[in-house]
């Protein structure tokens, strides 16, 4: 039944409705695929019993003619989403053994629509990272390999690396993910799949382990743009339990994919042309422009003058919010507690020293520094002001265009261990994605081509706030033009 794991969500829903196969068969095929792909380390916890139980319920609803929008569709749940009765760790030792007694709104929404949970996907610790090498539960391996025969293990990107690797390896049909600076889109690009960061406020953050609350945005990962639209429609919606969740109707995102971009104005920001950008990335961007032109869109040059300040702004705001959010890990109410510590203060500081990974400590300390007396205005308030200028750049650009086209990431997937010598080198991975987080606007990464090493590259479409429909519409046209059909090498061999 290996072919079942190669279907898109859209195709699988049709197959289930037509009774070509059952939800249990579909789920079982994916459970076996997960077991056969454990070398990727994409899951921290597998939940086959839950998946089969949910699939049986889906089959009952199909039989009764009461199928829900995602009934029987298996998904991987990023281990940042709290799951009632299933360990949730944020890939950190400090939450090892934490079993929430509540369900995140987004995963509950997916369950309500009939989706089937295969397990909890690995990630960078507390979603801090671009390589999935900061997980306390081991690195995730990208299923793609360079074509030079070196067989080097590559990173899947991060922070949603387990989610992206699992989707690319055809061991799940879709996944939940979160994007604070690029954590959906960069792994999507590295793994040759699609992923959308919706508008801030579109999906509830309730029940998701918090990193930087003004930036954290839940969203889906899947192999096609339409599958992203189907998942997002179920994940999104107003939630009174998140005060920043928008009280807006959720559009039918899939029907926005008309295939027609005639007359649309697509902005090309000159500030995204970086010195030293790999030629292949620039070529792919040119190709994307040509595809949209051929489809009848008008290309306009735009300027986002504060782009170069986006990453430094992010690396003040995100650590500041993280240092505040992560103060809750004190060894008292849940998670790890140090067995040393003679008094309460020592217990706190030892618990946090033992529980947090190096990158988490680094960011919490940077955050504590920029928020400390005497530095608050110079760093934190300054960054919030530059953040407004970045938002205004977009507002001005959208006076002359409907959507913006850029590359997703400045490189293809790199080898595990690369970019580890200097934290800033790793941070630069988010150079094209982070502005959309600071501005709160939606952006999708669509697989668009391969580099000379046979590794996938993505193009990013950025839209106006609340205009995911435009992002899906343009993304669909890029996807159609790119006809991206390549698969990770090991996988094609296995399938054949």
Partner 1 sequence: MSLDEKTVRKVARLANIEIADEDIERIGTELSGILAWVEQLSEVDTDNVEPLANVVNIELPLRKDEVTDGDCADKVLANAPEETQGFFVVPKIVEQES
Among all residues, which ones are annotated catalytic?
78, 159, 183
Residue 212 beta carbon to partner 1: minimum distance, rounded to whole angstroms: 12
Residue 408 beta carbon to partner 1: minimum distance, rounded to whole angstroms: 21
- Does 220 interact with partner 1 (rule: CB under 8 A)? no
Give bridge partners of residue 120 from the DSSP assignment. Answer: 45, 77
**Choices 65-73, 281-289, 350-358, 442-450; region in contact with partner 1 by CB under 8 A:** 350-358
8 A C-beta contact, residue 79 and residue 88:
yes
Count Cβ neighbours within 10 Å for each residue of 331-363 and write b for 16 or more, e otherwise. Answer: beebbbbbeebeeeeebbebbbebbbbebbeeb
**Choices 132-140, 196-204, 258-266, 411-419; region in contact with partner 1 by CB under 8 A:** 196-204
Site string for partner 1, 62-101 (x = CB under 8 A): -----------------------------------xxxxx
Residue 392 beta carbon to partner 1: minimum distance, rounded to whole angstroms: 9
- Does 219 interact with partner 1 (rule: CB under 8 A)? no
Residue 385 beta carbon to partner 1: minimum distance, rounded to whole angstroms: 4
Residue 353 beta carbon to partner 1: minimum distance, rounded to whole angstroms: 4
CA dist 127 and 132 (Å) reads 9
- Does 343 interact with partner 1 (rule: CB under 8 A)? yes
Site for partner 1 in 116-175 (CB under 8 A): none
Residue 440 beta carbon to partner 1: minimum distance, rounded to whole angstroms: 3
Edge-to-edge strand ranges of the sheet holding 456-462: 43-46, 116-121, 74-78, 174-179, 217-222, 194-197, 443-450, 456-462, 403-407, 265-269, 298-302
8 A C-beta contact, residue 42 and residue 121:
yes
Q: Given candidates 361, 454, 486, 490, which one binds partner 1 under the rule CB under 8 A? A: 361
Give bridge partners of residue 457 from the DSSP assignment. Answer: 449
> Nearest to residue 307, comparing CAs of 214, 200, 407, 435?
435
> Nearest to residue 426, comparing CAs of 186, 233, 136, 192?
186
Residue 44 beta carbon to partner 1: minimum distance, rounded to whole angstroms: 17
- Does 315 interact with partner 1 (rule: CB under 8 A)? yes
Q: Given candidates 439, 443, 461, 477, which one binds partner 1 under the rule CB under 8 A? A: 439
Q: Given candidates 200, 211, 253, 414, which one binds partner 1 under the rule CB under 8 A? A: 200
Q: Given candidates 290, 365, 452, 495, which one binds partner 1 under the rule CB under 8 A? A: 365
Q: Under the phi-then-psi rule, with left for phi > 0, alpha for psi from -120 to 50, and beta for the rest, what region is 157?
A: left
Q: Helix axis angle, 48-63 relative to 9-17, nearest 10°?
A: 50
How far is the CA of 456 from the CAs of 345, 380, 489, in angstroms?
Answer: 49, 37, 12
Binding residue count for partner 1, defined by CB under 8 A: 72
Q: Given candidates 222, 235, 246, 304, which one binds partner 1 under the rule CB under 8 A? A: 246
Site for partner 1 in 383-422 (CB under 8 A): 383-389, 391, 422
**Choices 55-63, 281-289, 377-385, 443-451; region in contact with partner 1 by CB under 8 A:** 377-385
Q: Given candidates 74, 129, 331, 410, which one binds partner 1 under the rule CB under 8 A? A: 331
Site string for partner 1, 450-489 (x = CB under 8 A): ---------------x------------------------
């Amino acid at each position: 039944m290996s072919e079942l794991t190669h279907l898109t969500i859209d195709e699988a829903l049709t197959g289930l409705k037509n009774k070509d196969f059952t939800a249990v068969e579909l789920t079982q095929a994916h459970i076996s695929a997960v077991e056969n792909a454990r070398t990727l380390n994409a899951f921290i916890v597998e939940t086959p019993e839950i998946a089969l139980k949910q699939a049986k319920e889906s089959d009952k609803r199909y039989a009764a003619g009461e199928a829900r929008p995602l009934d029987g569709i298996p998904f991987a749940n990023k281990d940042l989403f709290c799951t009632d009765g299933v360990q949730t760790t944020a890939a950190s030792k400090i939450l090892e053994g934490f079993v929430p007694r509540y369900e995140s709104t987004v995963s509950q929404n997916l369950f309500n629509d009939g989706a089937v949970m295969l397990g909890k996907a690995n990630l960078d610790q507390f979603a801090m990272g671009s390589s999935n090498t900061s997980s306390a539960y081991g690195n995730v391996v990208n299923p793609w390999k360079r074509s030079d025969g070196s067989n080097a293990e590559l990173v899947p990107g991060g922070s949603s690396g387990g989610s992206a690797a699992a989707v690319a390896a055809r061991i799940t049909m879709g996944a939940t993910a979160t994007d604070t600076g690029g954590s959906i889109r960069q792994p999507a690009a590295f793994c040759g799949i699609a992923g959308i960061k919706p508008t801030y406020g579109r999906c509830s953050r309730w029940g998701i382990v918090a990193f930087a609350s003004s930036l954290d945005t839940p969203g889906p990962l899947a192999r096609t743009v339409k599958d992203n639209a189907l998942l997002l429609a179920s994940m999104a919606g107003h939630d009174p339990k998140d005060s920043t969740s928008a009280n807006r109707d959720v559009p039918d995102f899939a029907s926005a994919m008309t295939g027609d971009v005639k007359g649309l104005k697509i902005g090309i920001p000159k500030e995204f042309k970086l010195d030293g950008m790999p030629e292949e990335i620039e070529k792919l961007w040119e190709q994307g422009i040509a595809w949209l032109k051929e489809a009848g869109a008008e290309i306009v040059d735009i300027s986002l003058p504060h782009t170069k300040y986006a990453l430094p702004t992010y690396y003040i705001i995100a650590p500041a919010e993280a240092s505040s959010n992560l103060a809750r890990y004190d060894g008292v109410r849940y998670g790890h507690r140090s067995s040393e510590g003679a008094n309460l203060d020592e217990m706190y500081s030892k618990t946090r020293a033992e529980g947090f990974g190096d990158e988490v400590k680094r960011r919490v300390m940077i955050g504590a520094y920029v928020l400390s007396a005497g530095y608050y205005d110079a760093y934190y308030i300054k960054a919030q002001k530059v953040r407004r200028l970045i938002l205004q750049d977009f507002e001005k650009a959208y006076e002359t265009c409907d959507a913006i086209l850029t590359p997703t990431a400045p490189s293809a997937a790199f080898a595990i261990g690369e970019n580890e010598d200097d934290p800033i080198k790793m941070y630069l991975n988010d150079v094209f994605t982070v502005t959309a987080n600071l501005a709160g606007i939606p952006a999708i990464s669509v697989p668009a081509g391969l580099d000379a090493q046979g590794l996938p590259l993505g193009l990013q479409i950025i839209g106006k706030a609340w205009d995911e429909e435009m992002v899906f519409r343009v993304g669909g046209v890029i996807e159609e033009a790119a006809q991206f059909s390549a698969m990770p090498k090991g996988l094609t061999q296995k399938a054949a």
